[in-house]
């Protein structure tokens, strides 16, 4: 009976998988952020140096990068069984995906208001 009343706990061994998946997610996030900035501002950046400013920014490219970031962070938090409660993992995965996606989209585009 006590097994069913036990509070969910962190599981230390699967938690170690976050040590190699989080750096991969950070690398993918960084690459997607570069992708979003290039699609929004062009290869020369939003200052217009070099080849000049891009005349038609690609909102589609920014949205694809944002969706990729959200998916990657959702996947690493939800799939690895670092907590015994599946509900807790899914809630935190959605929060992590939305926060990282929003933050990187703002970093990649908001400083360069068109």
List, for residues 16-38, the tens digit of each pLDDT value.
888 888 999 999 999 998 888 88
Predicted TM-score (pTM) of the model is 0.78
Contact (Cβ atoms closer than 8 angstroms) between residue 39 and residue 80 = no
Query: Residue 61 has what pLDDT?
Result: 86
Q: Give the domain ranges of the chain.
A: 32-114
- pLDDT band, residue 111 (cuts 50/70/90): low
Beta strand residue intervals within 1-114, DSSP E: none
DSSP 112: S
Query: Residue 87 has what pLDDT?
Result: 92
**Positive/negative CA dihedral, 35, 39, 43, 49:** negative
3-state helix, strand, coil in the chain (%, to 5): 70, 0, 30
Q: pLDDT by residue (tens digit) across 40-85? A: 877 766 666 666 666 777 888 889 999 999 999 999 999 988 888 8
Contact (Cβ atoms closer than 8 angstroms) between residue 62 and residue 39 = yes
- pLDDT band, residue 96 (cuts 50/70/90): very high
Mean pLDDT of the region 94-112: 85
């Amino acid at each position: 009976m006590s097994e069913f009343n036990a509070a969910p706990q962190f599981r230390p061994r699967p938690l170690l998988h976050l040590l190699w998946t989080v750096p991969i997610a950070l690398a993918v996030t960084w690459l997607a952020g570069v992708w979003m900035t290039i699609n929004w501002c062009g290869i020369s950046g939003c200052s217009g140096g070099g080849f000049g400013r891009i005349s038609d920014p690609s909102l589609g490219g920014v949205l694809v990068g944002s969706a990729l970031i959200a998916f990657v962070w959702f996947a690493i938090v939800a799939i690895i069984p670092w907590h015994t409660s599946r509900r807790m993992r899914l809630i935190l995965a959605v929060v992590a995906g939305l926060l990282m996606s929003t933050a990187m989209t703002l970093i990649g585009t908001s400083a360069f208001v068109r």
